[in-house]
Amino acid sequence: MFTGLVEGQGVVVRVEKKRNNSLLGIRPGFPWEEKLLGESIAVNGVCLTATAWKGEIFSVDVSEETLSRSNLGRLHSGDLVNLERALRLSDRLGGHLVTGHIDGTGRIIEKVLQEQFLLFKISIPQAFRPLIVEKGSIALDGVSLTVNRIGEKEFELTMIPHTAAVTTLGRKKIGEEVNVETDLIGKYVYQFLSSRREDEAEKKSKVDNEFLRKHGFI
């Protein structure tokens, strides 16, 4: 579990592409006291496991599923990524609950500088629309942000100068992809209500032997 408060950036120093997956080597650009094997690290918002440490560089395996849902498959050596270590239960929850399980990607379709603040408009798949609400939380490339407005196929948000400076989002260009994780609580509420609607619809349209006997078909 993470908060969406990025600790700092790292640089990709190794990309090893395999048949259906890949391996990344990343050097954090900030002090990393405990180098633990098996720890969870959010890389551009994607929860990955540190499988090896060699000096200041850690390695992570990226599965086929993760490559299909995120922008990690388009990383190259020298690219910068946002990094966050897993949340301790004693830590302040300054952002929001972020799992690191990416829903998919969005695309930057507008980026405007307005009095040092960056205004973004992000296009999203239609399936994301019910999971995003105005003034709700969302994570882009692992960064906890607040939705300003939501349209049918896009949403807007504002980024403060500090966030733009300490994360990769400040350098993102129009047309680039960002990893999107919608609000965890919202996803569960939506799934619960959708299941109830499906159950009610099934009950209303259910045709069984009792129905057929009652209406003279058998």
Question: What pLDDT digit, counting tens, does each position of 98-115 carry?
Answer: 999 999 999 999 999 999
How many C-alpha atoms does 128 have within 13 Å on its Cβ side? Answer: 24
User: Domain limits at 166?
Assistant: 104-201
Tell me the CATH number at 25. Answer: 2.40.30.20
Both tokens assigned to 173: 């260009």
Tens digit of each residue's pLDDT (9 = 90 or more) over 114-153: 999 999 999 999 989 989 999 999 999 999 999 999 999 9
76 and 143 fall within a common domain: no
Report CA-CA distances (Å) from 88 to 2, 40, 81, 93, 103: 9, 12, 22, 9, 24
User: Are 184 and 98 within 8 A, CB to CB?
Assistant: yes
Predicted confidence band of residue 218 (pLDDT cuts 50, 70, 90): low
The total number of structural domains that make up the chain: 2
The reply to whether 91 falls in a domain is no
Please indicate, yes or no, whether residues 129 and 77 belong to a single structural domain of this protein: no
Q: What is the β-pairing status of strands 57-62 and 117-123?
A: unpaired
Q: Which residue has the tokens 């599923």?
A: 65
Strands 80-85 and 117-123: unpaired
In a domain, 123, yes or no: yes
pLDDT (0 to 100) of residue 185 = 85
CA dihedral 132, 184, 32, 25 (to 10 degrees): -70
Same domain, 120 and 193: yes
Cα 62 from Cα 116, distance rounded (Å) = 36
pLDDT category, 172, cuts 50, 70, 90? Answer: very high
